[in-house]
Amino acid sequence: MRSGLLTACPKMPLATATAAVVMSAFPIVTSFVTTLLIPEDAFKPGGEANGHALAQLTHAYQGSAFSAVHGTRR
Q: What is the pLDDT of residues 5-30, one digit of tens each?
A: 555 566 667 888 888 889 999 999 98
Average pLDDT, the chain: 78
Average confidence (pLDDT) over 53-72: 73
Higher pLDDT among residues 23 and 61, named by residue:
23
Q: How high is the pLDDT of residue 25?
A: 93
Query: What does R_g of the chain's alpha carbons equal in angstroms?
Result: 19
The answer to whether the beta carbons of residues 19 and 4 sit under 8 Å apart is no
Q: How high is the pLDDT of residue 9?
A: 61
Domain assignments of the chain as residue spans, ordered by start? 1-37, 38-74
Q: How high is the pLDDT of residue 28?
A: 93
Q: How high is the pLDDT of residue 51?
A: 82
